[in-house]
Amino acid sequence: MMVRVSDQGEAPRRQRAVVPPLAAEDYVCEACEIDFAQVSVADAVAVIGSLPGRVRETVSAAPAEVRRLRPRADRWSVIEYVCHLRDVYATYTIRLHRARTEHEPVLEPMLNDLRARRFRYNERSVDAVLDELGATAAGFCEEVARMEQWDRLVTRLPGEHRTARWLVRQAMHEGQHHLDDISKTTSAVTLTD
């Protein structure tokens, strides 16, 4: 069943947002088979650098009429995934900058679903967001080039320390994983149409 975002309404209110823990330094994603320990910073940057073009190609292959449809109420639409990726690279640029310039900064969680609702991801211009994704991915790669001490730490939850190297690997994983989500979403909403 496909779900139009406008048909969904607000999710039930919760007492407190639960922030899931970050993936481990040696995380292996079963879905996309990325093994963090096997990814060098240079490899991650190469993947991130190519990502905007690959996302644009994948989104362009999706029929315009399905780009704003969700396959299920708990899954995002194609444009929502692209907006999320744009925000990932903007956020991770700031996180990496803080890792480089501050001593063990505490990072704010992204609060992805809140962003999608409040910033009206599903109403954004597809072409504009694709351009913004290109800019934020390039900006992230520029920040990576400034980093020299890859073992510098950041934290988000108490006791949850991650390295600057992890930030780059996680940013690459987000891009690769969500590129696959875009393809799966396109297939799912096209099949149910």
pLDDT of residue 161: 97
Residue 63 CB neighbours (<10 A): 12
Q: For residue 143, tell me if it sits in a domain.
A: yes
pLDDT of residue 16: 53
Q: For residue 13, tell me if it sits in a domain.
A: no
Q: For residue 62, tell me if it sits in a domain.
A: yes
Q: For residue 164, tell me if it sits in a domain.
A: yes
Q: For residue 15, tell me if it sits in a domain.
A: no
Crossing angle for the helix pair 126-146 and 41-61, nearest 10 degrees? 180
pLDDT, mean over the chain = 91
pLDDT of residue 11: 46
Q: What CATH code is carried by the domain that includes residue 133?
A: 1.20.120.450
Confidence (pTM)? 0.89
**Cβ atoms of 103 and 40 closer than 8 Å:** no
Q: For residue 94, tell me if it sits in a domain.
A: yes
What are the residue ranges of helices labelled H in 38-163? 41-61, 78-101, 112-118, 126-146
Tell me the per-residue pLDDT of 9-26, one tens digit each, with 9 for 90 and over: 444 444 455 778 899 999
Q: For residue 59, tell me if it sits in a domain.
A: yes
The tally of domains found in the chain comes to 1
Q: For residue 175, tell me if it sits in a domain.
A: yes
Tell me the per-residue pLDDT of 68-87, one tens digit each, with 9 for 90 and over: 999 999 999 999 999 999 99
Phi and psi angles of residue 31, each rounded to the nearest 5 degrees, phi first: -70, -45
Report CA dihedral (174, 175, 176, 182) to the nearest 10 degrees: 100
Q: How far apart are CA 93 and CA 102, in angstroms?
A: 14
The domain containing residue 130 runs over which residues?
40-186
Q: How far apart are CA 4 and CA 99, in angstroms?
A: 39
The helix (H) or strand (E) run that includes residue 161 is strand 161-163
